[in-house]
Structure 1
Amino acid sequence: MADYEGVGGLLPPDEREKLSVRLQHAVSAFVDSPRGAVEEADEVLHETVNRLTKTLAHRRRTIRTAWQSMGEGEERTADTEQLRLALRDYRETAERLLRL
């Protein structure tokens, strides 16, 4: 997963910006079209959740593949180092989620 700043660092800045603009548009449109504004906000949240879910599933697959694919013939220190890196990646990803 790329190391993005802000909003837990889970989405690229351009995607966050687009979703943020759409959400702000929904909020601004509430006075003229309350139902439409709420429907738009619902869609923004739905898209955000879907994108985060895909990003996190991909991240988990990447980390898991790295440590599960270690060969049996590798040295123990190489195995331990790969596992240490996997644990670090799991921790960093989980911490990002917990900051949301």
Structure 2
Amino acid sequence: MSELPTVEDLALVAGVLGLLFLMRFALALRRMRVEAGEPVDILADARHVRLAGAFGEKREPERRHAARQLLLGLVFAFAGLAIAGGMLVADVLAPFFSRASEIG
């Protein structure tokens, strides 16, 4: 019988996956700009990656790929942060709940 991963492991894996997808996003944008011979501005390009045709019709498949990487990166990063935040809140509030149960 296999063991289930701990919540801490799930938070860590989700966070690392999110960072890896965001790194792939940045590399995809950089590759598009370098191949086109244009200056690289990751932050400005990140705002435009959601718009169809923002990088030209020729670069549309690469733009869609970069947009998918951004979406997955944000989903996994926020999931990891949410799990870690939930664990932090539970650790901080646990003494208050245990004390309340002793009183009642």
Same fold by TM-score greater than 0.5: no
Q: Which has the larger radius of gyration?
A: 2
The structure whose RCO (Cα within 8 Å, separation 6+) is larger is 2
* TM-score class, shorter: 0.3 to 0.5
Normalised by the length of structure 2, the TM-score is: 0.43
